[in-house]
Amino acid sequence: MVMAPHTIRLPAGEFVYRDTGTPDRPTVLAMHGMGRDGSDWDATARALVPEFRLVALDLRGHGQSVRTEQYSLEAMQEDVVAVVDALQLNDFVLLGFSLGGVVAYLYAQAHPERVRQLITVDTPMPTTWEQPAPPAQAPEGVRHDWNATTQLFPELHTTNDRWWNDLARITCPALLLRGGEASWMPQDRIEDTARQMPDARVIEIPGGGHPIHRTQFPAFTQHLSSFLRGAE
């Protein structure tokens, strides 16, 4: 059963997270992609309980979490630091999709001693590649802070040598799932990302596209569960 959202006050403001399961179970801290919120992981949470606890954060500018004037990947990483401290998480699993996957990389390389395992969904470390910039004004129907999209876009499409070099600090087992040819993400850069980490592997879920955890849910949860149990 998925719990109702909880509110927590962090240095940047009020954040919302969903907490499914019990604190005595191994904890998975999950982060969503651009424009989504923590509810993107509801189905995953139901698949993991009661064996695991899943905490799904609304990143700043998304869902019911605080809107801020400035957005950066490092600031989002600091938000995760504050959440981990506030919820007293330790030896936990990081799970991230797209934007949330990048934030997961940054947290894991800054605090490798706290992360038990890392899983990312169709997410390379940011790299310089061509993609049309988002419009200045939010399209109709957008529910997140569009400033997050416009401010984060340059960071997500620029190679940061320090971030790439610091991937070597992520010593925990890592699983990088990718969607293959159906995805618009540069798949070769996901392979490059994995090669920078001492204990990482890539698994392609054919036909998954970008949001594998939604489009290929049974295959996604099978790989996720096996990896969490140490069987993959």
Q: Mind listing the pLDDT tens digit for each residue in 61-101?
A: 999 999 999 999 999 999 999 999 999 999 999 999 999 99
For a pLDDT cut of 70, what percent of the chain falls above it? 98
Q: Where are the domains of the chain?
A: 6-228
Confidence of residue 4 (pLDDT cuts 50, 70, 90): confident
Confidence of residue 150 (pLDDT cuts 50, 70, 90): very high
> Residue 3 pLDDT more than 80?
no
Nearest Cα neighbor of 177 from 104, 128, 110, 111 is 104
d(CA 230, CA 118): 12
If one compares 22 and 197, the residue with the highest pLDDT of the two is: 197
Confidence of residue 33 (pLDDT cuts 50, 70, 90): very high
- H helix and E strand count, the chain: 8, 8
Residue 31 pLDDT: 98
Mean pLDDT of the chain: 96
> Residue 1 pLDDT more than 70?
no
Q: Mind listing the pLDDT tens digit for each residue in 50-67?
A: 999 999 999 999 999 999
Contact 56, 39 (CB under 8 A): yes
Residue 230 pLDDT: 86
What's the average model confidence in pLDDT over 24-44?
A: 97
Q: Mind listing the pLDDT tens digit for each residue in 102-136?
A: 999 999 999 999 999 999 999 999 999 888 999 99
Residue 2 pLDDT: 61
Residue 232 pLDDT: 58
In degrees and rounded to multiples of 5, residue 91 shows phi and psi of: 55, 50
Residue 130 pLDDT: 86
Confidence of residue 231 (pLDDT cuts 50, 70, 90): low
CATH of domain 6-228: 3.40.50.1820
User: C-alpha angle 18/53/120, rounded to 5°?
Assistant: 80
- β-pairing verdict for 27-31 and 92-97: parallel
